[in-house]
Structures are given as structure tokens and as C-alpha cells.
Amino acid sequence: MKCILLFQTVLFQNYYGDCFMKTFKIHLIRHGATDANTVGMYIGNRTDLPLSPEGVRELQQLREVIEYPDIERLYTSPMLRCKQSANIIYPGFEAHVIDELAEYDFGEFEGKTAEQLELMPQYAEWTSGKLEAPEGGESTQNFIKRQALALNNIVRDMMNNDVTSAGVIMHGGAIMMLLASCAVPRRRSVEWTSDNGRGYSVMITPSLYHSSGVIEVYDII
């Protein structure tokens, strides 16, 4: 897969020695809810919505009932909803922005609900996989490649800063596509869904990754 080859190439061009024997634990966490999430609206990287008041409350309550993984470094999508979520889930941590983590570009589907889009023939083609991208939007392959590059940049930064655990606040669709493309256990993207404030913990060992080409999901957040 393209995302795997991209990740392998950069790692092996730039890092060697002890780094290959370390295990990096990365916790992929979906941002809190926005008003658009509540009504089922497609909101991508063209609309920088904040968390809704209810979304803020939900994350605050979630912090009281679950124990988020310990981390040494924190990363986030550049979208406001992710940066706000990072501050709530991991208060006191500086959130380092990874531009490639930005949400999918929905093109002409942006700001519309599934109910509204059902009237458009292109929507049925897109949801069935026959249409690679909405009009004016992003192709699925480009989106996957972009998320793989984001993960690549995160691991490189972790190596540079000698840390082995990190949190990543990102978008639900990004988590789904990334894990479907290069994670074990192997699952379809729809099987990697996560609620707001939830996600998955993955392990990456560069030396093993080079031989297997996958990352391992080892826990659900």
C-alpha cells in the first residue's frame, strides 16, 4: 500500500541504530462533538467549527470516567475542534499541530446532511466507491496518503525528541482510513469507527514495521 511504502522509506532513510529497537505507542483519539456532528452534517477541512457546548461537557465528563493513556508528547490536527479537544483531554500539554491531519475535503458535499445529499446522484456513487472524490473534493487515496504522512511525521518527531508515547487528537474518518490501510488486525474502514473522545492505541516498532509493513492496534480507548 502507498501509505506503508511512504512510511518505510522515510524511516529507513533518516533513522538507524537504537531507534529501530524501540516501541512507539501512539494513541489515536477522535475529537469531541460539534453542532454539525449532532445533525449528521458533512464537515471537512473547509469549515473550522468549534466544539459544541455539549461536546465540551461530554469530553469533560469522559475524563472523569475513563483513564486516558499516559503520554510524553501531544499532537493535533490543525482544526479548532481538535485543538480544543486536546486541551480538555490532556490539559497542561503543548499540542503540536500536524497539518496533514486535517479532515477530509468533502468538496460540494461540505455542509450538507446525508438526507440532503441523497437527492444527488454523485452521492450514491461516492458512498458505493464508484466515485473516487466528490466534485471539488479530495480523493480517497490522497486522503490516506496524507494521513500516512502525518503518522510518519509524528514518529520522526518522537524519535527526534526521544519519546516513546504520544497522543494524537484527530478526526474519526482519518482514524478509520488510516487503520484500514495499514493496521492489524485487518478490518474494513467501517469497522474502525470511534465515538467522540474515544479511539485506538497502536504500537510501532520500526524494525518490525520494515519487515511486516503494518502497525498493531493493541487497545481501545
- What are the residues whose beta carbons fall under 8 Å from the beta carbon of 189, sequence distance 6 or more? 176, 177, 179, 180
Domain ranges of the chain: 2-108+139-220
In this prediction, residue 124 carries a pLDDT of: 85
Segment 109-153, tens digit of pLDDT: 888 988 888 888 888 888 877 778 888 889 988 999 999 899 989
Segment 61-115, tens digit of pLDDT: 999 999 999 999 999 999 999 999 999 999 999 999 999 999 999 988 888 988 8
CATH class as words, domain 2-108+139-220? alpha beta
Q: What is the pTM of this model?
A: 0.89
- What is the grid cell recorded at 127? 458512498
- What are the residues whose beta carbons fall under 8 Å from the beta carbon of 193, sequence distance 6 or more? 172, 176
